[in-house]
Amino acid sequence: QKLPHRPPPLKLKSIDNMRMYGRFSLLKKVSLLMMAYQLDELYTRQLIDSFVWMDTSGDGEISSQEISKGLKRCGLDGHPDTPCPEEVKHIMEAADLDGSGMMNYTEFVAA
């Protein structure tokens, strides 16, 4: 799939949501994962666009490096609330429920 020319509205609010997701119990994370799996694309279009835009390798999964680069490409790298690469890695580990070391689309939507 072709990357959008302009970055989708990736906001720090999305990162804050991922931070909060990391503190949830496993049961709550799995419940959100199941809901994300069943959501209609109509409700997740903005998240799909953000995910595809950050997935520079095109493999259908994003790494912590791709998230950090995506934040930088959106111009959010200088903001005081932008996570450092180490925090992005921690956020990724909390959202990576299948243990692949990468975040797939459903994990991204759930977080």
Helix 85-95 to helix 12-21 angle (10° resolution) is 50
Q: What is the pLDDT of residue 6?
A: 59
DSSP symbols for 69-107: HHHHHTT-TTSTTSPPHHHHHHHHHHH-TT-SSSEEHHH
Q: What is the pLDDT of residue 102?
A: 94
Q: What is the pLDDT of residue 8?
A: 61
Rounded to whole angstroms, how far apart are CA atoms 92 and 111? 10
Q: What is the pLDDT of residue 49?
A: 86
Q: What is the pLDDT of residue 7?
A: 55
Closest CA to 109 of 14, 9, 3, 6: 14
How would you write the pLDDT of the chain (111 residues) with one tens digit per residue? 555 555 566 677 788 888 899 999 999 999 999 999 999 988 888 888 888 888 999 999 999 999 888 888 877 777 788 888 888 899 889 999 999 999 999 999 998
Q: What is the pLDDT of residue 45?
A: 86
Q: What is the pLDDT of residue 5?
A: 54
Q: Which residues of 79-104 are buried (b: 16+ CB within 10 A; e: fewer)?
A: eeebbeeebbbbbbebbbbeeeebbb
- Are 10 and 69 in contact by the 8 Å Cβ rule? The answer is no
The amino acid at residue 53 is: W
